[in-house]
Structure 1
Amino acid sequence: MTRFHLHLVSDATGETLTTIVNAAVVQFENAQPVKHLWPMIRNRAQIANVLAGIGQEPGLVLYTLVDAEARAALEEGCRRLGVRHISALDTVMMGLHEFLGEATTGRPGSQHEMNQEYFDRIEAMHYTLSHDDGQQAADLDRADVVLVGVSRSSKTPTSMYLANRGLKVANVPFVPGVALPPELENLRRPLVVGLTTAPERLSQIRRNRLLSLKDTAASDYADQERVKEELLAARRVFARHGWPVIDVTRKSIEETAAAILTLYQRREGERAS
């Protein structure tokens, strides 16, 4: 493994840098970065502390600094130390500048301002939390997305991920022999999506769940044949309603959410046109 120091210098929380680095580093099988996060760096005194740390443990420096003075101080210090330094946002910001013909605001941390988008996201989180696992079905029509699926098909984590993207998401469990909420029949506003998975995979997940709960009693919950029947019954319901279906068997939560976002944006586009 190639072990190296990676300094992440940000004028805000460092969330953007961390996300970029995590996405990039996984593409290098032998890379093992030792990450040093330097958040809320906005003046020369703070830059001096950062440079002292870099000097003690030299390595690659990635930064997102919009203040020209702070940025110049960091770049000059990195040149003096002989360490490579890369602005993580320059290419994107230059492309936007050329396309829009508009200068940047130069406000540090402006992506974290408590604007309307922030409050919309908080409202989406509240809605999603209060509509988990079939709760409060009476106002499902206020949702942007409704997920329907059998137990342990990733409904809740997918809902929370989408809520963090600003969508109000309700999730409803499909339970054999138990009628779905009647409100589902007449929904007009939300996108309803069915989640399914491979029976053998679901059976294993449920067995692990029972073991974690120390539940050793005989149960049909994890029996593979019963699980297969349950999934088939759910598929029939999805098909009857014409709901799009996503197989989550080999998908991460992020991949499932991305597929749902694509469906949602496509439908919103069709409605707008």
Structure 2
Amino acid sequence: MARTFFHLHLISDATGETLIAVSRAVIAQYDAVESIEHLYPFVRSASQLEKAIDEIDEAPGVVLFTLVDKDLAQRLVAACHELNVPCHSVLQPISDVFRAYLGSPGAARPGAQHMLNAYYFNRVEALNYTMLHDDGQTADDYEAADILLLGVSRTSKTPTSIYLANRGYKTANVPIIPNVPLPKAIFRLQKPLIVGLVTSADRLVAVRQQRLDSSQTRFDSTYVDPVAVNEEVVQSRRLFAHYGWPVIDVTRRSIEEAAAAIINLYKAHRAKLGLLEHPR
């Protein structure tokens, strides 16, 4: 199927992360369409905006923006009208809903979501913890974790941990290795939510084979053996069932989907312990 391309201009008074996330989520719905992104971050002056408008004129396409400065926003909308290109404020419809419900407008602060507030430092702390506790490291303070992930090799433990850390959750992950006992500290944990990650044996063999092909590291012969891999999966499921640990099957889940499911489990876990959910 032939792919079609179009120019996508993203104009933001901050980093542009919101525009990137929203536009890519929509574009993902179109299999045969791909955007050529033009990102203009930190547009906070008329001269910066005019440069973006000049580029839109040279390569017309869809224009999305997040500009809290009304004068800049109005100038962009007017320019796009003159150029006959679609232009849309991504945050304005949501802001209108909040304004109507809360009865007052918000403060017009460009990049306010990136201010160094408690949430920001909480994320930094979570990332530091998670990186120090990747792949079974530093087992002596797992009690300080919010979430601990268990799973056999290549069940997306590390990327899921990092994603959760970016959401502000201290996450440790521990590999389940055949004939290697888990750290005893795990079985004494009280506060952290322990979650088992599993995937189908077929997918696991395929993923491991890719790693084997692209790595110079030597692996045990059973690493990609279908029978041995299936036994690993079966044993991990038995382990999780024995201790009553919840299980997330990542076979057909993206990292984001798996993390969302884990966060829901975490909230239920905190409620069961009679603890309030940490603000994220």
TM-score (norm 2): 0.92
Q: Give the corresponding residue for 2:228.
A: 226
Which residue does the alignment assign to 2:138? 136
The residue that corresponds to 2:56 in the other structure is 54
Distance 1:138 1:103, change over 3 A: same
How is 1:35-184 mapped onto 2 (pairs within 5 angstroms)?
Answer: 35-184=37-186
Residues in 2 aligned to 1:49 and 1:125: alpha-carbon distance in whole angstroms = 37
Deviations 1:58-102 (A, max 9, x none): 111110001112112211222222222100111111112222223
Structure 2 distance, partners of 1:38, 1:167, is 31
Deviations, residues 177-216 of structure 1 (Å, cap 9, x unaligned): 2111111112111110001111121122222222222467
- Per-residue CA deviation, residues 116-137 of structure 1 (Å, 9 max, x unaligned), is 1111100000000000011111
1:102 is matched by which residue type in structure 2?
A: S
Code of the aligned partner of 1:178: V
Paired residue type of 1:97: R
SS of corresponding position for 2:197: strand
How much is the aligned-residue C-alpha RMSD, in angstroms?
1.6
Say which of 241, 244, 247 aligns to 2:243: 241
Name the stretch that deviates more: 263-272 or 173-182: 263-272
Count of residue correspondences: 273
Distance 2:216 2:120 in 1: 41
CA distance in 1, matches of 2:39, 2:73: 16
Question: How far apart, CA to CA, are the structure 2 residues paired with 1:196 and 1:143?
Answer: 21
Give the one of 2, 7, 10 matched to 2:9: 7
Counterpart Cα distance in 2 of 1:235 and 1:242: 10
Q: Which ranges in structure 2 are unaligned for 5 or more consecutive residues?
A: none
Change (3 A) 1:98 1:191: same
Shift of 1:3: 2.4
Q: What corresponds to 2:262 in structure 1?
A: 260
- Point out where structure 1 has 5 or more consecutive residues left out of the alignment: none
Aligned with 1:211 (options 213, 218, 230): 213
Secondary structure of 2:153's partner?
coil
